[in-house]
Structure formats: structure tokens, C-alpha cells
Amino acid sequence: MLPYNISLNDLLAMLNTDPEKGLTSEQVQTLIEKYGENKLKEARKKTNLQKFFDQFKDVMILILLLAAAISFTVALIEGNTSDFIEPVLILLIVILNAIMGVIQESKAEKALEALKNLSVPHARVLRNGKEEIIDARELVPGDIILLEAGDFIPADARLLKSASLTSEESVLTGESLPVEKDADAHVEENSPLGDRRNMVYSGCSVTYGRGRAVVTATGMNTEMGKIAALLESAEDTSTPLQQKLAQLGKYLGFIALAACAVIFIIGIFSGIPIMDIFMTSVSLAVSAIPEGLPAIVTIVLSIGVQQMVKKNAIIRKLPAVETLGSASVICSDKTGTLTPVSYTHLT
């Protein structure tokens, strides 16, 4: 049976809770160990070393590293000290480019973490027969929560009592109008989420009235958690700038290899020693690679990030600036899906 179409007595018995006193401290401790904290699973954070190596996945960067390796090999073979300058410069450019990318990602993560800490929700619950205000992450199935207008709903819950209660559920349904809730409502099995009038859901808010409810699901077991689980499997897509740079890198790599092969073949037919013609063709191929391009792109994007920061925007990854900066108007009818159905005054 599902929590929205089972009788309240059966649900309370199943959750082993008292609607007037709530759970005991011993029950809460046991349930915390069983279900874990009431929070959505976060993606495993990358270390700075992982972020650093992620910067080398770009085609252009890989070509530059190959060019540096070839230049270094040529310099070793020829034994000319001045020939080491080019591969060293290429490596410095690539490493500085990677460091700038890591710094930007780290700054964005710290800013987002600070925002999360500012918005940690709390919940009013009945425990041991007393009303308490606790961190919402400490909620467990069976907790009795008290709700009133303006409250953030901290977990999925079945209403025990309600008085003119309405809830804004746009984050789940996409509908901006508040939904009327009724603890006594009869809901059929397999009813759509928006029709479950005797339930309130994590991530939504109370817009009017008051109520009392028993928590039925927390963390990743909530409706919001199910959406988060689906998002975990979504693949990252490249921005138009990344796609164009990758395409340019492939073209340049092909042209450099083709030029190297043509010069090598011509040299062989001309009777030039193989080692000499190899060195010449490799040097010409390496010189065709624009070593400064990644650094220039990174610097330009960094300037864009600074301008966006002044507009109170947080940019997690540098390439996103190009796409975000190209948007002038966003037209959408999904209020509550792309926007939070609320206004924020920034000063």
C-alpha cells in the first residue's frame, strides 16, 4: 500500500509512531542509522588534482602536449639548448591554463557551498511529547511535523490534520498555482502526484493555513530524491565554444600531420638524410600549432566571469560563460520548474 491511499491508523502503526507525542529519542536514533540523514545525495566532489587533470581533456590541449613532447624529443636528439625553450613554454602555457580553470571551479564551489549553508531548513516536530525545532536533516520516517503558512516542507508526509492548508508544488509539477490540501481526502491508488491532496512533499512550501503530518519518506526516497537520482545519470554536454575548439583542434592536428608527411616524403625523394628531414618536418608541424590559443581563450572567459560576478552570477565552469553570455532573453512557460516562483531583492 502507498502512503497516500492507506488508512491513517494503518500508516501510523506501520511507522510505529504516536500522532500526539511523536517518536522517542531512542526511535529516532535507530531510524537515523537505518535511513540516514534527510538530504539528497550529492555528487562526489572532485579533488583539486582531479580538477587539474580534467583540464587536459580538451583536444587542443592534447595536441599542445603532443607538440611539446615531440619538440622536447627533437631538442634532446639535436642537443641544442635553445631548442628546449619552445617545449618548456608550451608546457607552462598548458599548466597555467589548467591552474586558472581549477581556481575558477574552486571559487564557484565555495560560493555555492556558502549559499547552501545559508539556506539549511529547519522543521518543527513532536518528539517525546514535546514540540521541538530541529535541523531538517535530522528528520526520519514516523516523525510528526507541524506546518503553517510560509514553512518549507522538509520531507514527504501524509497529513493528519489540516486547516485551509494550501501548498505550492511547482517544483514537482510545474504548476504555479497553490494546491488545496485536505487530511481527510480519499485518494485513489496510482493517482498523479498533483492529485494527492492528503500528501505534502519535500522541497515544496506551505502558502496558507496550517497542518500536522507524519513523515513517510526522507532523503533520496522522497519524490524530490527520485528526480535527483534521474539527474545523476544525465551526461554533461559540451558548449558550442568547446565543440568549435575541439573541431579546430582536429583540423589543425590533421593539417599538421599531413604537412609533416608531405615534407617527409619530399625529403626522402630529394635524397636528404632521414633524420634531418624528420627533424625539419616535425619542427614545421609543431610550429603550425597555436600554443597561445588555449591561454587566450581562458583569459577572455575569465574576464567574462568577473563581469558576470558583478551581476551576482555564479559560474561553475569557464566554458559556460560563452553560452550564458550569448543569452539575452529566456522565454519559458514553466514557472516553478526553471524559476522558484518567488522574487528575490538584491541590493
Distance CA 91, CA 109 (A): 27
Specify whether 333 is catalytic. Answer: yes
In angstroms, the CA 5 to CA 11 distance is 10
What is the C-alpha separation between 270 and 103, in angstroms, rounded?
A: 51
Instruction: Tell me which amino acid residue 105 is.
Output: E
What percent helix, strand, coil does the chain show, rounded to 5? 50, 15, 35
Q: Based on the number of CB atoms within 10 Å of its own CB, is 331 exposed (0-12), middle (13-18) or buried (19 or more)?
A: exposed
Q: Please report the DSSP string for 216-230 in residue order.
A: EE-GGGSHHHHHHHH
Phi and psi of 288, rounded to 5°?
-80, -10
Q: Which amino acid is at 55?
A: Q
Q: Which residues pair with 127 in a beta bridge?
A: 23, 130
Question: Which cell goes with 139?
Answer: 528528520
Residue 327's identity, in one-letter code, is A
Residue 85 sits at the vertex; the CA angle it makes with 79 and 90, to the nearest 5 degrees, is 125
Contact 242, 57 (CB under 8 A): no
Taking the C-alpha atoms of residue 155 and residue 217, their distance in angstroms, rounded to an integer, is 6
- Of 54, 58, 143, 333, which is the active-site residue? 333
| Residues annotated catalytic, as ranges | 333
